Structure formats: structure tokens, C-alpha cells
Amino acid sequence: SQQGEEDPQALSIQEGENATMNCSYKTSINNLQWYRQNSGRGLVHLILIRSNEREKHSGRLRVTLDTSKKSSSLLITASRAADTASYFCASTVLTNTDKLIFGTGTRLQVFP
């Protein structure tokens, strides 16, 4: 069973708008990551935030983490049509492997 639940399941916006996706997880984590998956292609790592961090930026991406609420959000600013993809949060938990536990994903559609 999957660790994370994401909302919304689907999001449609116009180019230039911001997109916010939320992720909730169930157990204590080591870190949380966000991935992008384009149709028919593999997963691409976007950004990682550690359990002792609250916010992180990378280009147009901003990630927040609230460990008290077991939740994270991904904000994409000034979206582009090329941002159209599915976005997944994935966490690593405190075990002896760094296997990723993925959420259910948000399908983002950016219209030009």
C-alpha cells in the first residue's frame, strides 16, 4: 500500500499561473522528494527536502514540509505548458534501505 495521498488528483491551469500540489504521508520519514513523470516516460527527480527542513527552493519550485501534520506541498510558479505531467511525492523512511514510498500523484495540465 502507498504511503502518501496527494491532492488534487488532477489540476488544470493556464500558462503563467501557479500550481500547488499537496501530499500527506503516514509514518515518520527521513526525507521527502518530489518527482515528475511525463506520459510514457520515466520518473525525474525534482527536489528533496529533509525531515529537519521546512522549506526549500529550486528555480520555479518551492517545497514545504510540515512534519507535525505529516504533509508537504509543491508549488510551481509561472507554469509553462512543458510542466504538464504527473507529479509524485515520495518519502524514505527510517529503515535499512532507501526505498521510495510514493504517493498517488497529481496530474497537472497546463494550457498554453
Partner 1 sequence: GAGVSQSPRYKVAKRGQDVALRCDPISGHVSLFWYQQALGQGPEFLTYFQNEAQLDKSGLPSDRFFAERPEGSVSTLKIQRTQQEDSAVYLCASSLAFVDRTGNFYEQYFGPGTRLTVT
Residue 98 as a binder of partner 1 (CB under 8 A): the answer is yes
Residue placing its CB nearer to partner 1 in the complex, 26 or 77 = 26
Q: Which of 7, 13, 17, 48 binds partner 1 (CB under 8 A)?
A: 48
Q: Round the CA-based radius of gyration of the chain to a whole number and report it.
A: 13
Nearest-angstrom CA–CA distance, 76 and 105: 15
For partner 1, the closer CB: 3 or 79: 3
97 part of the interface to partner 1, by CB under 8 A: yes
Q: Which residue has the cell 520555479?
A: 60
- Grid cell of 85 as nine digits: 505531467
* Whole-Å CA distances, 61 to 2, 51, 95: 24, 18, 28
Binding residues vs partner 1 (CB under 8 A): 2, 4, 30-31, 40-45, 48, 50, 88, 90, 92, 94-105
